[in-house]
């Protein structure tokens, strides 16, 4: 696996460590607008998002959205959007990043039922696509390419 790491670093990929929780979720640290938080890395989530309770924490300028969210057993959930935020995962950065904001209480309730810590949000496929993401499950690393 050392060769994979060397190849990706030569191709300008940044290495980001993740942990696997008791619930088998991939937990990753990220900064939004300079503030650190805990996020689930979710390849099945189309967009990255944060919970309503994190709007002030991350200094988000939340705007109305007509989009309804669905996922993790819930559908038709009210959303807001925050545009042009700074997202940072280790050394990988996006300074014009849009986030969906919705009720994550059902996700955090499920995590806490399994004695896992609550999360601030979800890092979704939008980040993986933008950063040409590669997940090394064996060594617990996400690689994102600089752009």
Report the CATH number that the domain containing residue 131 is assigned in CATH: 2.40.70.10
Alpha-carbon 105 to chain mean position: 16
Nearest CA to 85 out of 62, 65, 51, 119 is that of 62
Count of C-beta atoms within a 10 Å radius of residue 6:
10
Q: How far apart are CA 90 and CA 24, in angstroms?
A: 22
Nearest CA to 96 out of 79, 84, 104 is that of 84
The whole domain housing 82 covers 2-145
- Write phi, then psi, for 107 (nearest 5 degrees): -70, -50
Predicted confidence at residue 25, as pLDDT, reads 94
130 has pLDDT over 80: yes
- 25 Cβ contact list (under 8 Å, min separation 6): 40, 41, 42, 111, 116
Domains: count for the chain: 1
32 has pLDDT over 90: yes
Whether this prediction's pTM lies above 0.85 is answered by: yes
């Amino acid at each position: 696996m050392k060769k994979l790491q060397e190849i990706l670093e030569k191709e300008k990929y940044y290495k980001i460590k993740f942990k696997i929780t008791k619930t088998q979720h991939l937990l990753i640290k990220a900064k939004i607008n300079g503030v650190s938080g805990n996020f689930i890395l979710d390849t099945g989530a189309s967009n990255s998002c944060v919970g309503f309770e994190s709007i002030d924490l991350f200094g988000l300028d939340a705007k109305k959205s007509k989009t309804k969210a669905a996922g993790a057993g819930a559908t038709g959930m009210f959303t807001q959007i925050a545009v042009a935020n700074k997202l940072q995962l280790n050394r990988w950065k996006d300074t014009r990043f849009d986030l969906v904001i919705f009720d994550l209480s059902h996700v955090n309730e499920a995590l806490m039922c399994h004695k896992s810590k609550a999360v601030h949000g979800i890092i979704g496929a939008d980040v993986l696509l933008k950063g040409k993401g590669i997940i090394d499950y064996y060594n617990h690393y996400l690689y994102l390419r600089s752009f």
